[in-house]
Amino acid sequence: GENVEQHPSTLSVQEGDSAVIKCTYSDSASNYFPWYKQELGKGPQLIIDIRSNVGEKKDQRIAVTLNKTAKHFSLHITETQPEDSAVYFCAANSKTSYDKVIFGPGTSLSVIP
Amino acid sequence: DTEVTQTPKHLVMGMTNKKSLKCEQHMGHRAMYWYKQKAKKPPELMFVYSYEKLSINESVPSRFSPECPNSSLLNLHLHALQPEDSALYLCASRRRGENTGELFFGEGSRLTVL
């Protein structure tokens, strides 16, 4: 079945620096790759996603890149702010198991003012 | 309305109790999910309903019983739970069809089993 790995598990950056989180997936049929942010006491919320027919997508300070050959995708946050501190999960969705969305283990990001 | 509403927010139950968690969405989404999340862990898929039919059961013990009475409601019936079942239970909904994408999560029901 689908397996998603994520690194690093914790990340601490100075405010204004960039943060990069990397994920790999196992199912070559995966075609949808979302990133979720979970703040304390809340449910995860989508921040950006990418489909397998696209190599890169950007939304203001957040960007995601996808390398289908290597089966990995990355989240890039630039000009980090304290409110970016949260747990970030990557996820993958396989077109052979349409409803199944599997999450990576998560990265706890701390942005130090 | 882009909300998924879960009740109750907190639930404490004994191992012999029967209780239910409820989830509601009015976005017209036809896929609804239950995830279990332990502290410092990712959401772990339990069940998926697609068009009100159970499409995925991730080998969840029978003491958890899902129900989807209609396209807006999802329940999780709990019976004879164990202390290790204490966790945050997250409901999510998702549009079904071409280019299906984002999961919309509720804030979760925090369950403590004594």
Question: Between chains, do A45 and B105 touch, taking CB under 8 Å as contact?
Answer: yes
CA angle A51, A70, A50 (to 5 degrees): 15
Q: Is the pLDDT of residue B2 over 70?
A: no
- What is the pLDDT at residue A52? 85
* Cβ–Cβ contact A88 with B under 8 A: no
Quick check: A1 pLDDT over 80? no
**Closest alpha carbon to A81 in A9, A11, A34, A19:** A19
Q: pLDDT tens for residues A8-57?
A: 999 999 999 999 999 999 988 888 999 999 999 899 999 999 998 889 99
pLDDT at residue A96, as a whole number? 76
Give the pLDDT of residue A94: 79
pLDDT at A29: 85
Q: Do A106 and B4 touch (CB under 8 A)?
A: no
- On whether any CB of chain B is under 8 Å from the CB of A33, the answer is no
d(CA B52, CA B63): 21
Instruction: Supply the pLDDT for residue B106.
Output: 97
Number of Cβ within a 10 Å radius of residue A104: 24
Taking the alpha carbons of A105, A32, B91, B62 in that order, is the dihedral positive or negative? negative
Task: Show the tokens assigned to A83.
Answer: 């409110």
At A99 the pLDDT is 86
* β partners of residue B54: B49
| B68-98: pLDDT as tens digits | 999 999 999 999 999 999 999 999 999 887 6
Cβ atoms A9, A76 nearer than 8 A: no
H or E stretch covering A25: strand A19-25
CA–CA separation, B79 and B8 (whole Å): 16
The pLDDT of residue B24 is above 80? yes
- Answer with the residue of higher pLDDT: A60 or A100: A60
Residues in B closer than 8 angstroms to A40, CB to CB, are none
Q: How confident is the model at residue B31 (pLDDT cuts 50, 70, 90)?
A: very high
